[in-house]
Amino acid sequence: MLRTNVVGTTGTGDHLLVLIHGYGADEYDLAALAPILDPAGRCFTVCPRGPIDVAPYGGAAWYDRDEHGVIEPGSFQRSLLALDQLVDAAAAPRGISRARTVVIGFSQGGAMALALSLRDTTTARPAGVACLSGMLQTPDWLRYAWDADGWTGPRDGFPAVYVQHGIHDPMVDIERGRRTRDVLAGHGIEAEYHEYAMHHEIRPESIIDLRAWLDTVLATR
């Protein structure tokens, strides 16, 4: 089981919010977002830690890559399975269905959030997924919903999708965010997309838009 910072809730907590950190960060990195995004406590929030320790600097990662940026499949798949199990472990004891989950990831965590939420699966999908300064990873071995036979675009139960990126991002180039938006659009998934004059970070103006999107998701799903 993933090491997890259980932030909890100050309210009803009838949705589950999963905040997935980026490369080299940890399970405490995004926890401060919870009361800003959800001051009313509509969500029970958990922040998992990636299973790969980043040495010698500390922090954690979700998957390994070689010097050319090629993902090691086993590390990605193990993390995906662990996150899937985490959702059930956090939601079920509180009577929260998977369909009332929102998954938000930053950078490498954004790739994990999209894969967890948009992959080809028989389990219920979350209500919403947000990728912040991240990317849609599309290696041949990762099967998304649109790879399934008979895919005709989003149907009932498909999550709302949100993507935001900084135009000055030196870590994950803005074109990765734009490609994410365009690939999704090519499969009939219209993500809410925002760009900001920022680097590899989360700024107040980006939080305002993310919170507005989350408010809509929680109010309608």
Single out the catalytic residue among 29, 169, 194, 206. Answer: 169
107 belongs to the catalytic site: yes
169 catalytic? Reply is yes
83 in Cβ contact with 39 (< 8 Å): no
| Active-site residue (options: 107, 117, 133, 206) | 107
Strand partners, 15: 43
The residue annotated as part of the active site, out of 64, 84, 187, 200, is 200
Peptide bond into 35 cis (omega under 30): no
Catalytic-residue membership of 168: no
Q: Provide DSSP, 20-81.
A: E--TTB-TTTTTTHHHHH-TT--EEEEEE--SEE-TTT--EES--B-TT--B-HHHHHHHHH
Place of tokens 């809509």: 216
In angstroms, the CA 73 to CA 36 distance is 35
DSSP state of 97: -
- Catalytic positions are 107, 169, 200
